[in-house]
Amino acid sequence: MVESVTGLVRWARAYFALQAIAGVSWWIAVFTSPVVREVTLGNLDPVAVAVFDIPLFVVASAVAARGVRAAAVVSAGWTCVVATAMAVYATITTETGWGVLCMGAASAGSLTALSVLLLGRVPTAWIIRGPFAFRPAAIRQAAATHVVSTFGQIVLFWGFFLAVIPYAIAFLEQRWALALPFPTLAGPAGIAVLVLASALGIWSATVMSTLGGGTPLPAAMPHRLVIAGPYRWIRNPMAAAGIVQGAAVGSILGSWLVVAYAVAGSLVWNYVVRPLEEADLKERFGEEFERYRETVRCWIPQVPKAQRSPSLL
């Protein structure tokens, strides 16, 4: 455990070191390349920005790389402030779009590294608190109730994550002058893929709610381990469907940022949500889940061998 924490701290310090180097390189490019200055700072005065950014971003990151927590707080805080300010400025003026992306990525990295330096870990457990805490569904509820609840969840989640957020991202992409051309067939292909992925998501949700005695939502989880339908071939068909749906929506909208949003969502789900979910499944279903995890892959579908598990349907 101690070695693991030490390794994470080393990673965090290395990140701040790389961030300091990247900051120095960027400022050199800003003062030597009109193109870099225009796409990242627009009409902002580079000297006025440098007066604040060099000590609070570059120098603070370098000091944070030495393990100084106060410097890490300053660097991460300043990075978030700059990213927010640039996003507002870019939305109003249509300038500095690439600067927003760079500082947005730096904000995510800085906050992650800061968490490691302060806590010795990335606090992912907060995701399963409150309404998203893992709780079994009510035992006496009928399967029809679980199905209705599941489809209500689908409407809300798909509406928010596959409509509201992607359209907002696509709008900002255009407003920030970050749009890139997509192939002509990207739209029709995206529609076809979206239909297929949505069908997989609905199939998976139906199987889960009818056979599992619960819903896919963490607050009303199933009482039985479901290894039927698409779950025979892949452990997380709903997550896979959601990621493909997001990429398909990006193709339909002609937005590479929406596609990137789908990819980022897959990384968050795989490295943050999945470990927590699988730990809960292991605690509740024990060896049955262990056998299932050993025989069915997480992301890549495969034809299951006959009778791998007594619960295989």
CA-to-CA dists, residue 151 to 222, 228, 253, 274, angstroms: 15, 19, 25, 22
- pLDDT band at 59; cut points 50, 70, 90: very high
Contact 301, 233 (CB under 8 A): yes
Domains of the chain from N-terminus onward: 2-122 (no CATH), 127-295 (1.20.120.1630)
pTM across the whole model: 0.89
Mean pLDDT of the 169-193 span? 95
Q: Name the amino acid, one letter, at 1.
A: M
- The winner for highest mean pLDDT among 147-161, 216-230, 293-307 is 147-161
Q: Does 131 score more than 90 pLDDT? A: no
| Site of tokens 């944070």 | 64
**How many Å separate Cα 13 from the centre of its chain?**
23
What's the confidence (pLDDT) of residue 308?
A: 46
What's the confidence (pLDDT) of residue 2?
A: 58
CA-to-CA dists, residue 140 to 83, 205, 295, angstroms: 49, 20, 32
CA-to-CA dists, residue 261 to 123, 141, 182, 236, 256, angstroms: 22, 36, 16, 19, 9
Q: Does 130 score more than 80 pLDDT? A: no
Share of the chain above pLDDT 90, in %: 70
Name, in order, each residue with C-beta under 8 angstroms of 214's C-beta and a sequence gap of 6 or more: 136, 137, 146, 208, 220, 221, 222, 223
What's the confidence (pLDDT) of residue 70?
A: 97
- pLDDT band at 143; cut points 50, 70, 90: confident
What is the Cα–Cα distance from 299 to 110, expressed in whole angstroms?
Answer: 29
Q: What is the pLDDT of residues 213-272, one digit of tens each?
A: 888 887 778 888 989 999 999 999 999 999 999 999 999 999 999 999 999 999 999 998
